[in-house]
Every structure is written in C-alpha cells, then in structure tokens.
C-alpha cells in the first residue's frame, strides 16, 4: 500500500445550474429546436451495471462492469402553451418518437444523447401552482460529451 499524502486544497466557487438550456431534434432534422421551460432533466451520463465474475475458486466475490443499458429518465417542463418547440416536443412524446436531446450547462459543457419518448403526462395540478408536464423516456446508447465551440 502506498503511504497517504495530503494535497493542497484551495476553496473554489461552484457554478449554479441556472441558465442550463435543452434542445431536441428528430433523427431526420438538421437543427436542434429549443425546449424552453425545463424544470428538471435528471442525471445525465452513464453507469454500467455490475456483473458477477466470481468463480468456484474465489474466496471473495469478484465483479466487473457489465454492458451499458441506458437509464430511464423524466424531463419535467413548465408548460408554455404558445411555444412552438414545446408543442413539437409534446407531439413527439405523444407519438413515442425517438429524438436526440442536447443540454448546454452554464460552464459550457454539452451533452447529446438519443432517447425514446414514452408518453406525455400533465403533472399534478394544484390551484396555486403553475401547469407543468412530464415526459418519461429511455436513453439509447451513450452520451456524447463536449464543450460549446469545441469540435463538431
């Protein structure tokens, strides 16, 4: 075992998620359509499942990373009834289309991934709350990470 040593730590300021943008497109579209009003996008990225690889000779369990299976997700949006992008997204969700989603965070990190949209639900309606909706989906394939203005 290597002897532990401390590293020099300098406190840093975090970056708020406010300003994160979401867009989407179908596989046939050339350009992404803005999807304003997003309230929650869930976790973005991958986590492979754990697979057992313990043999009869082993005296302790042994594991390995299994084949990636895209996560089930939910997109939660504030409802803007006159926004064309939202209306296209809702129509795609209601007909269970497959779309490509792009997020851009305030630190200029980008993520793109494909999801199959699994429907459209109006969220719980309460008199003193704004109307919002949820689109459940399942990710296909892995996330492509990038930075604004870097690469193609």
**Domain assignments of the chain as residue spans, ordered by start:** 21-47+64-147
pTM: 0.87
Taking phi over 0 as left and psi of -120 to 50 as alpha, with beta for the rest, 37 belongs to left
Specify the pLDDT at position 83: 96
d(Cα 112, Cα 90) in Å, to the nearest integer? 19
Instruction: Name every residue whose Cβ is closer than 8 Å to that of residue 13 and which is 6 or more positions away in sequence.
Output: none
* The pLDDT of residue 91: 97
Report pLDDT for 36: 96
pLDDT tens digit string along 15-59?
888 999 999 999 899 999 999 999 999 999 999 999 999 999 999
Q: In this structure, what is the dihedral angle of CA atoms 62, 67, 69, 70, given to the nearest 10 degrees?
A: 110
Q: How many residues does the chain have?
A: 152
Q: Residues 36, 86: contact at Cβ < 8 Å?
A: yes
Task: Identify the residue whose tokens are 């690469």.
Answer: 151
Q: Does 2.30.110 match the CATH number of domain 21-47+64-147?
A: yes
């Amino acid at each position: 075992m290597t002897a532990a040593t401390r590293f020099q730590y300098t406190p840093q300021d975090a970056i708020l998620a406010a300003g994160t943008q979401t867009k989407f497109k179908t596989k046939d579209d050339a350009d992404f359509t803005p999807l304003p009003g997003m309230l929650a996008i869930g976790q973005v990225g991958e986590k492979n499942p754990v697979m057992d690889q313990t043999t009869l000779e082993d005296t302790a369990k042994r594991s390995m990373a299994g084949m990636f299976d895209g996560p089930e997700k939910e997109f939660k949006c504030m409802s803007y009834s006159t926004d064309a992008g939202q209306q296209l997204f809702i129509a795609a969700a209601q007909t269970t289309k497959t779309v490509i989603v792009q997020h851009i965070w305030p630190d200029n990190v980008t993520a793109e991934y494909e999801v199959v949209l699994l429907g459209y639900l109006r969220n719980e309606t309460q008199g003193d709350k704004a109307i919002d909706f949820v689109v459940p989906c399942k990710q296909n394939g892995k996330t492509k990470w990038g930075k604004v203005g870097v690469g193609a």
